[in-house]
Homo-oligomer: A and B are copies of this chain.
Amino acid sequence: MSEAYVHGYDARANERLQDQAAALVDLLHADTHYPEGSRVLEVGCGVGAQTITLARRSPAARFTSIDVSEASLDEARQLIARANLTNVEFQQGDIFALPFGAASFDHVFVCFVLEHLARPVEALAILHRLIRPGGTITVIEGDHGSTYFHPDDEAAHAAIQCQVSLQRSAGGNALIGREVFPLLVAAGFADVRVSPRMVYVDASRPGLVDGFTRKTFTAMIEGVRDAALAAGIIDAPRFDAGVRALHRTTEADGVFCYTFFKGVGTASAQP
């Protein structure tokens, strides 16, 4: 009886965790649907983490998903095949040297890509030319400057700042989320609408505590430890104190906040 109860509890807890992982996918993607027959270019698909959601949600659209890495594309191909999805074609390609003609696509989707580019407006302008007039671009980016939490902690901010600095040194911008609106406007898109997608985590949302605060955000920060120490931008005790403080926000009285930004713009007639 007691064991059954425990199992029952675990099953419910598991379901809740799954629900909250799904909640995050919904938060970012629920309002992205492409109509039957539309040609969609996904730029920087990586291992297909977003591709699978896109392809499932718009089963009658035809996706072309590109990435610079053949190794990532292999993983993405397997993921899509295992999901029995047949509406995705993968292709190796660099955003600055794409083998597509003007107006080849109805829509373009770019998620967590611009943050890595030194010239995001130039990249968006290139993508603009690939979209037929009236088609759309959808851009999703995070912003590490949107991170705040309780208890607040200086070392935690310093550890996050390491990730921001390292990404900047590599030519990227970990604070790009807030710039999605001006970037899309600068690249010539019309009717640009940006909406923030805030992830709010407290103990009443255990799936997000584990799935987002601990295993997504804090794990990402922990992942730059070696690079940050090697770059000499922080010392080990301070970095480790920062990571401990991030874990501290996952306790019963902790709170963690992060915001993604999603923008949609319409391609205008090409000049």
What is the interface of chain A, defined by CB distance below 8 A to chain B?
Answer: 143, 145-146, 148-150, 152, 175, 178-179, 181-182, 185-186, 192-196, 198, 200, 202-204, 252-255, 257, 259
Contacts and interface: CB of A to CB of B under 8 A. Distances in A.
The 10 closest A-B pairs by CB, nearest first: A182-B253, A181-B202, A196-B200, A150-B178, A145-B148, A178-B255, A198-B198, A196-B198, A150-B179, A181-B255
B204 A200 contact: no
Contacts of A149: 178
Residues of A contacting B: mostly = strand
B204 A195 contact: no
A204 B184 CA distance: 12
Contacts of A204: 181, 192-194
B185 A253 contact: yes
A212 to B, nearest CB: 14
Given A178-B255, A182-B150, A202 B198 contact: no
Contacts of A185: 203, 252-253
24 contacts: A145-B152, A148-B178, A150-B178, A150-B182, A178-B255, A178-B257, A179-B255, A181-B202, A181-B204, A181-B253, A181-B255, A182-B202, A182-B255, A185-B203, A185-B252, A186-B253, A192-B204, A193-B204, A194-B200, A194-B255, A195-B200, A198-B198, A198-B259, A257-B259
A239 to B, nearest CB: 22
Contact of A148 (B146, B186, B193, B195): B146
A195 B148 CA distance: 15
Nearest to A261: B200
Contacts of A198: 196, 198, 259
A148 B152 contact: no
Contacts of A152: 145, 175
Contact of A181 (B143, B179, B181, B203): B203
A114 to B, nearest CB: 14
Point out which of A193, A202, A252 has the most chain B C-beta atoms below 10 A from its C-beta.
Answer: A202
